[in-house]
Structure 1
Amino acid sequence: MRINEERLKERMERINSIAVTEEDGMMRLALSDADKEARDLLVSWMEEAGMSVRVDDMGTIYGVMKGRDEKALPICVGSHMDTQPNGGRYDGFFGVMAGLEAILTIKESGAEFDSDLMVADWTNEEGARFVPPMLASGTNAGQFTAQWVYDRQDTEGIRYEDELKRIGYKGDKENRLTKAKAYLEPHIEQGPVLDAKGISCGIVTGALGITGLDVTISGEANHAGTTPMSHRKDALVAAAEAISRIRKNCIDFGEPAVITNGIINAQPASKNIVPGSVYFSIDLRYHTDEGMAELEKQTKDIIHKTCAELGTTAEIEQYWRAKPAIFNETIVRCVEEAAAEKGLSAMKIISGAGHDAVFINEIIPTGMIFVPSIKGMSHCPQEDTKWEDLVSGAELTADVLLKLDKETV
């Protein structure tokens, strides 16, 4: 398959001209006006191509190109168009546009296909506005209830459901994708491996599991000048010590274990008061369920032990968990074969990032394609991928869709 490069580039640039920040980053937060503008364009292009368009109750958009066999299960390809604040140009968005272009290329080539070919734009994959991430795909997979998602609020107290209605993208539950022959997600790697090795294609075999924890350490707020060091119950000192120890423990646990503390807030947040309470977030990732559970246990034990030593206490709540994903062997093989036939350098790789594919993998045979990220930069304005790699990824997507149409998955 050979895509229409000019069309793909023009459309990607059009959407990436929406809500550009001063640093040249993207600001299409889920269910915002910028997200609506991008969605409206996507729907117009689907309809222009003769696809039927439907929207589910989580706001996910599906464009469907009819196949020859009405009894065949559909094959879905896609990702998401929402971004992080001041985010990158290709994270998620490439998968939607590559999927759309791949389906149009197949149709325009005259190639015959039995299954309906479907492209999906999942809602709120990033979790930047409504926490946690991957809310729409997670609801499809039975991880969340619709009402729980509807009641998620952003930092201004605005509800998910209210924004869905406001921008006109609250559809019907019956439109959810719950059955398909296969789901394929093209994506930028968001890491440095492919770029560093000079490899054009990542054949994604699975993804790390993710555990999200909220930690609140309680000590005793007191005067900064009159409270002797020996009498202090400093919540910030306990948090700092705990963060240092759980980081070292994660390193000792071994690769591919990673830990991130992305948010830390001390209260009462005064320069001359010993902090009485500190909140910090934890993002833990590992590639097996058993290892993830053990790493989480060790992390919690270290925090509680540290707090006990320093006269403080800790409350730890798990706000999110995504199981490690092992992708479908047939889809992985199809990607591998298509890359070889296209003459692309390729390697098998595990995704360190969470994707909608992780949840969809629970209900539908799933696979992913990675294209390189220059210097591994992502979730920032510096996120970039060579144009030739984007083209190859879109063409590879078309080749894989055709292979999957003929396969028993």
Structure 2
Amino acid sequence: MSNSPLSVNGNRLWQSLMDLARIGATAKGGNCRLALTALDGQGRDLVTGWMRDAGMRVRVDQLGNIFARRAGRDDTLPPVMTGSHIDTQPTGGKFDGCYGVLAGLEVIRTLNDAGVQTEAPLEVAIWTNEEGSRFVPVMMGSGVFAGKFTLETALSARDAQGLSVRDELQAIGYAGADPVGGRPVDAYFEAHIEQGPILEHEEKVVGVVTGSLGLRWYDIIVTGMEMHAGPTPMPIRRDALLAASHLVQAVIGIANANQPHGRGTVGELHAHPGSRNVIPGQVRMTADLRHEDEATLTRMDQALRQACKDVAAAHHVEVELKDVQYFRPTPFDPDLVGKVRQGAASRGLPAMDIVTGAGHDAVYMASVTPTAMIFVPCKDGVSHNEIEDAQPQHLEAGCNVLLDAMVARAGRSGS
């Protein structure tokens, strides 16, 4: 079904994933390999060893980002890059991030096996602390590379035990000398499991990722008055939890009104004082709004602010809305997206356009170089969980699309 003379070795890709998964393996079949722990160091050692075995030149920058380079015929050209991360959540799976790194390595191995040289060099990146489960900010390595925050901010970050990124990089031997970023990258591709249920539900093998949802995070404080639950008549209550319940419905309603890409979530809700016979006097809650279109996300933001005013007036409470974080919607590069779409089509793979609702290193990279992503299904849409799973043939298919897209961008020398 393929028009390409090259195809990756799916068994080798799968075996590499399973070998890496032994480092930090958990009882339920997942992984706990937190960023910059000794286990992360062992994972880095294993993968960079494979990279060197594949003839790649490995360099490490001052934040521990790893770049393995395969020379092009014209090595002065900026590289076509792919990559992801190998750090995990505390109860992470075997594929989140790791697939993107090892798919990139498999592309290089495949080109080596076939004796194919590209015009431009190729690079495979391993980004530091993508998950953000030990250190914040999240997507740390790519964020500094893209200039979203400073190297010093990242190096000074500390975990719950007070250990710094700077010291932990030294401890595992990955405090490199190269500057972080500031060099040209021709293009960036990232292969990833979807981390959601859409591809599986639609029976598609490849997700052609057209961009990422924008995100707005809020903290909301609703203040009423604590009063005795028995003697206080309903009409004169200032029930903070009742008011908050209307805000929960507002968040969900705003998302439902902006389909198909609207998202709305209240992930935390804490009532004070938390006694069964006391009317709640204060509620602290979070809100999360997302959409792929910036103008629509702005309207969703305005709708939430109006809902806060309306609820405050209707229930005689005070509502304070605090902005916590804002990520703009990020459209990916049309040419690179087209190469992913063409790669799937040329191999006869069932594919569909999709947007990512999760953060990825590709979102930051899109601000400094043309970027695209390739999604493959994961079982039941489950990720950030030890039972995360994916089918070997789907992983192989996505890697073949990555191969085609990278070679199309980098150019095949002598072809």
Q: Provide TM-score, normalisation by structure 2.
A: 0.88
- Counterpart of 2:245 in structure 1 is 240
Report deviation, 1:247.
1.2
User: Does structure 1 retain, via aligned residues, the 8 Å contact 2:144–2:180?
Assistant: no
Q: CA deviation at 1:103?
A: 1.4
CA distance in 2, matches of 1:148, 1:276: 38
Deviation at 1:124, TM superposition (A): 2.4
Deviation of 1:3 (Å): 2.5
Q: Which SS does the other structure have where 1:353 is aligned?
A: coil
1:46 matches 2:51: yes
Identify which of 22, 28, 33 aligns with 1:23: 28
* Equivalent position SS for 2:339: helix
**C-alpha contact (below 8 Å) 2:63/2:180 kept by paired residues:** no
Give CA deviations for 1:52-99 in whole Å, capped at 9, x if unaligned: 222223332211112221221111001122223322221221111101
Decide which moves more: 227-236 or 288-297: 227-236
Query: Is residue 127 from structure 1 mapped to residue 137 from structure 2 by the alignment?
Result: no
Q: Which stretch shifts more, 193-202 or 156-165?
A: 156-165
Kindly indicate whether residue 369 of structure 2 is the aligned counterpart of residue 359 of structure 1: no
209-218 or 353-362: which moved more? 209-218
Q: Which residue of 2 aligns with 1:70?
A: 75
The match for 1:217 is 222
Contact 2:9 2:396 in 1 (8 A): no
Q: 1:195 aligned to 185, 200, 211, which one?
A: 200
Does the CA contact (< 8 Å) of 1:218 and 1:314 recur in 2? yes
Q: Does 1:380 align with 2:377?
A: no
Counterpart pick for 1:404 among 395, 409, 414: 409
1:210–1:354 Cα contact (<8 Å) kept? no
Secondary structure of 2:138's partner? Answer: coil
User: CA contact under 8 A between 1:201 and 1:347: conserved in structure 2?
Assistant: yes
Does the 8 Å CA contact 1:208/1:325 hold for their aligned counterparts? yes
User: 1:154 & 1:296 partners in 2: Cα distance?
Assistant: 32
SS at match of 2:341: helix
Q: Secondary structure at the match of 1:383?
A: coil
Cα 1:369–1:275 shift into 2, 3 Å: same
Counterpart position of 1:180? 185
**Change in 2 beyond 3 A, CA 1:254/1:334:** closer
Among candidates 74, 81, 84, match of residue 86 of structure 2 = 81
The alignment partner of 1:253 has SS state of coil
Query: Amino acid of the residue matched to residue 53 of structure 2?
Result: E
User: Does the CA contact (< 8 Å) of 2:21 and 2:30 recur in 1?
Assistant: no
Q: What is the aligned residue count?
A: 407
Q: 1:260 aligns with which of 258, 262, 265?
A: 265
Residue 206 of structure 1 aligns with an amino acid whose one-letter code is G
Q: Which amino acid aligns with 2:51?
A: M
Q: Aligned-pair distance for 1:329?
A: 1.7
Residues 137 and 154 in structure 2, CA contact (< 8 A), matched pair in contact too: no
Residue 97 of structure 1 is aligned with which of 98, 102, 111? 102
Q: CA deviation at 1:179?
A: 1.8
**Is 1:59 the counterpart of 2:56 in the alignment?**
no
1:395 maps onto 2:411 in alignment: no
Residues 227 and 154 (structure 1), Cα distance of their counterparts in 2 relative to 1, 3 Å cut: farther
Q: Distance in 2 between matches of 1:224 and 1:43?
A: 63
| Higher mean displacement: 267-276 or 325-334 | 267-276
Q: Deviations over 1:383-407 (max 9, x none)?
A: 2221111112222212221111129
Offset at 1:324? 1.2
Q: 1:234 to 1:177 in 2, by over 3 A?
A: farther
1:32 pairs with 2:7: no
Residues 381 and 219 (structure 1), Cα distance of their counterparts in 2 relative to 1, 3 Å cut = same
Cα distance change, pair 390–254 in 1 and its aligned pair in 2 (3 A)? closer
* Alignment of 1:323 onto 2:328: yes
Whether 1:337 and 2:342 are equivalent positions in the alignment is: yes
Say which SS state the counterpart of residue 174 (structure 1) adopts: coil
Contact 1:322 1:358 in 2 (8 A): no
TM-score w.r.t. length of structure 1:
0.89
Q: State the AA in 2 paired with 1:344.
A: L
SS of aligned partner of 2:148? coil
Amino acid at match of 2:285: F
Change (3 A) 1:35 1:59: same
List gaps (5 residues or longer) in structure 1: none
Report the 3-state secondary structure (helix = DSSP H, G, I; strand = E; otherwise coil) of the residue aligned with 1:362: coil
Secondary structure of the equivalent of 1:120?
strand
Give the Cα–Cα distance (whole angstroms) in 2 for the partners of residues 2 and 310 of structure 1: 63
Q: CA 1:21 to 1:312, structure 2 compared with 1: closer, same or farther past 3 Å?
A: farther
| Shift in Å, 1:49 | 2.1
Question: What secondary structure does 2:257 align onto?
Answer: helix
User: Which residue of the partner structure matches residue 351 of structure 2?
Assistant: 346
Unaligned runs of 5+ in 2: 1-5
Q: 1:22 to 1:154 in 2, by over 3 A?
A: same
Sequence identity, in percent?
A: 38
